[in-house]
Amino acid sequence: MAFTAGNVCRRMVVALAAVVAIFTSSLIAQQAENGPPDVGEGSLLYRSPISGKFESVPLLHTDAQIDVRGLAASVTVTQQYANSSAQPIEAIYVFPLPHGAAVYDMEIHIGNRVIHSVVRERQEARKVYEAAKSEGKRAALLEEERPNIFTASVANIMPGDRIDVHLRYVQPLRWEDGHMRLVFPMVVGPRYIPGTQARGYSGSGWAMDTDAVPDASRITPPIRHPESRSGHDISILVDLDSGLQSALIQCISHMINEHRLANGQRRLELSTGATIPNKDFVLEVQQAQSQQPGTALFLSPANDSSETHFLLAAYPPTVQPAERTPREMFYMIDVSGSMAGTSIEQARAALLQALDGLGSNDRFAILQFNSTYQEFSPEPLPATTENLELARRYVHNLRAYGGTEMLPALRHLMQKPTIPGYLRHIILLTDGDLGNEEEIFAAMRQELGNARLYTVAIGSAPNLFLATKMAQYGRGTFTHIADNREVQEQMSRLFTGIEAPVLTDVKLTWEGVEVADVYPERLPDLFLRQPLLIYGRITKGHSGKLHLTARAGNTPYETTIAFDTSKATFHPGITTLWARQRVEEMMDRWRETDENGRTEIRSNIIAHAIRYHLVTQFTSLVAVEEIVVNPSGQCNTTAVPTELPEGWQMDKVVGAPATGTADAFFEALGFTLLLGGIVLLYLQRRYATVKEGARS
């Protein structure tokens, strides 16, 4: 056959038809692979925003029972797992708990059987779990990734199984100015992961481990796209002590119902019964001002000795204001992608209120940061009417996008030269959802100098561990804004505290009793109406006095606080809280020590945590059922997806989501057809030119 332009055209048409057929077959195969699998009744599915595939959700429901008594809350969290597939599975669930929680127990419930946990050194617990998994035994492992992020692994969930995992912890509650705030976190906000080198995966998350965040894949659970079918839900029940009968209750985050119980307690629960876990549960209790005690003492006897552990909350009297010193205010605002939506609205409102509170003798500066940072002015400006008006316009134009490179921006501020005669304050407004907390803590210890740093945690699921720890290292305070409605009140409290004199060089002496292992060892500076929480052990005596000395500016300050153990309130969780506080003290020393000194501190933490049955960075809880249910030892690992926090925007956090594999197919097919059409058009014109030449 002659190789003419007409033949080429016909061959191109046939070739294009073949390409379309191949692509269509590929699409059908991919749709079958990525479409919803055949599942049984009661199954939950979600579509991964990363892979676009439908996957079964092994976690059906979470239930939290919270008992609030005085300065502590005892909590039982029940996670209900099920396997609706035809194969044994291992469920991996990365979830949040309060950063001050002392987690001390885990149980597996399978029908009428209960499997209790033991605490082990972390790597040893992992080996016990992996051995049970490979032997085909049901097992559960609870690990701490951060003080506010934990991983539960449940192995050999057999087809048709329903397994309940019960976790128990106790957490301290802070009363400030007659207010107590209880936060039960429901979702791990997607973390920004900095770093220059990727190091593979150590967990089941969407991010790779990096040189800056070596465990990034362990703190970045897969994210369920908000438009796909809901995953598991959560219910919450809170019982308030009878001593709070007259307190004003307000739930900042959710609608709740309240019931009065016969014993005088108040019971609170979600109005909807259950909800999607996409924002923190925030409950605020306001007691009448006259009912706030000057001191509150809680005790619990140690199980293995005659000693008694205590928690003492002391509220020093208000110090009379001294002459106001001019301030140098640095406002550092997070405008990264995770702040898009309601979070940036809250941050803008808070910053505008901060500008309104500046005095005529103050100076101020604003720095916004995301993937990089930008300043309103290179140097702090006087708080004149003109400068403040320009600053308000600047704040109104702030937009959220990009990464969360907090460390370079913070270092830039900390290294600025100070102005003689001014007190420097740095106020950080952020959701704190990043993974390199330890790098930030180290930089603050080395570079903050005499400045004070205050944190304002913004949004529906902020990283409260980062915010509170930065405030601790910065000798400042921590403020939590969970809703636009409380911006004004919370920021007013913050600036009232900054304006009031601070008690520094706080020291304690005890009279009438002998005490040991008192924490915190380095007492913090005290702000207006801020309580001093002291944990310790009473080794001898029952009543006595606590003498507190400090300095308010250049003026000596002294007060005496009487206490009597016979009039104290007993709470069984105080020993566990004391043990957790001791872990925190040792962890701070571990952070400040070089590698040579860390080994001994780590060993001390492990021994202490095993004695008091605590989950820490170096110890885990593991439970194994000594029955082989899966002789092959093979099971499919499934990571439980987390919700996108309320108010967040998916495309600002992870980019354009892969909501379906057909999109890529149609893009490739369209490109192929377009290219083929261009070739056909060229050949057709070429053929017409040849024919015209032949006629002439």
Of 45-54, 186-195, 271-280, the range with the lowest mean pLDDT is 45-54
| Predicted confidence band of residue 409 (pLDDT cuts 50, 70, 90) | very high
- Four-point Cα dihedral 331, 332, 337, 343, nearest 10: -40
Residue 675 scores a pLDDT above 80:
no
| Predicted confidence band of residue 500 (pLDDT cuts 50, 70, 90) | confident
Average confidence (pLDDT) over 189-218: 93
Residue 56 scores a pLDDT above 80:
no
Q: What angle do CA 291, 293, 298 make, to 5 degrees?
A: 125
Pick the closest to residue 166 from 223, 235, 110 (CA basis).
110
Average confidence (pLDDT) over 427-445: 96
| Predicted confidence band of residue 582 (pLDDT cuts 50, 70, 90) | very high
| Predicted confidence band of residue 145 (pLDDT cuts 50, 70, 90) | very high
Where do we find the tokens 């033949």?
Answer: 7
Residue 21 scores a pLDDT above 80:
no
The average confidence (pLDDT) of the chain is 86
137-146 and 619-628 strand pairing: antiparallel
- State residue 6's pLDDT score: 54
Instruction: Mention every residue, 6+ apart, whose C-beta is less than 8 A from residue 225.
Output: 46, 47, 48, 49, 644, 650, 657, 659
- State residue 685's pLDDT score: 63
- State residue 563's pLDDT score: 81
More confident residue, 129 or 496: 129
Can you point out the beta strands (E) in 575-618?
none
The model's pLDDT over 209-244, given as tens digits with 9 standing for 90+, comes to 999 999 999 999 999 887 775 568 999 999 998 677
Of 18-32, 303-317, 472-486, 666-680, the range with the lowest mean pLDDT is 18-32
89-96 and 72-82 strand pairing: unpaired
The model's pLDDT over 263-282, given as tens digits with 9 standing for 90+, comes to 888 999 999 999 999 999 99
The model's pLDDT over 328-345, given as tens digits with 9 standing for 90+, comes to 999 999 999 999 999 999
- State residue 66's pLDDT score: 97
- State residue 529's pLDDT score: 76
- Residue 559 corresponds to which amino acid? T
555-564 and 266-270 strand pairing: unpaired
Residue 374 scores a pLDDT above 50:
yes
Residue 298 scores a pLDDT above 90:
no
| Predicted confidence band of residue 552 (pLDDT cuts 50, 70, 90) | confident
Instruction: Mention every residue, 6+ apart, whose C-beta is less than 8 A from residue 677.
Output: none
More confident residue, 262 or 370: 370
Pick the closest to residue 578 from 180, 296, 299 (CA basis).
299
More confident residue, 301 or 396: 396
Instruction: Mention every residue, 6+ apart, whose C-beta is less than 8 A from residue 174.
Output: 71, 180, 181, 531, 533
Helices 5-34 & 662-695 angle (0-180, nearest 10): 170
Q: What percent of the chain has pLDDT over 70?
A: 82
- State residue 39's pLDDT score: 44
Q: Strand order in 543-552's β-sheet?
A: 503-511, 543-552, 555-564
Q: Chain centroid to CA 692: how far?
A: 75
pTM to 2 decimal places: 0.86
Average confidence (pLDDT) over 525-540: 87
- State residue 224's pLDDT score: 87
Residue 35 scores a pLDDT above 80:
no
Average confidence (pLDDT) over 486-495: 90
Average confidence (pLDDT) over 347-367: 94
Q: Give the CA radius of gyration of the chain.
A: 30
Token pair belonging to 301:
């006897």
| Predicted confidence band of residue 657 (pLDDT cuts 50, 70, 90) | very low
Instruction: Mention every residue, 6+ apart, whose C-beta is less than 8 A from residue 479.
Output: 454, 455, 456, 457, 490, 491, 493, 494
Average confidence (pLDDT) over 529-554: 87
Token pair belonging to 240:
């308030």
Of 197-201, 216-220, 380-384, 683-687, the range with the lowest mean pLDDT is 683-687
Q: What percent of the chain has pLDDT over 90?
A: 62
Residue 682 scores a pLDDT above 90:
no
| Predicted confidence band of residue 11 (pLDDT cuts 50, 70, 90) | low
Q: Chain centroid to CA 49: how far?
A: 21
Pick the closest to residue 223 from 65, 342, 338, 363 (CA basis).
338
Instruction: Mention every residue, 6+ apart, whose C-beta is less than 8 A from residue 96.
Output: 148, 149, 150, 185, 186, 187, 188, 461
Where do we find the tokens 């901060």?
Answer: 354
More confident residue, 672 or 195: 195
The model's pLDDT over 570-579, given as tens digits with 9 standing for 90+, comes to 888 999 999 9
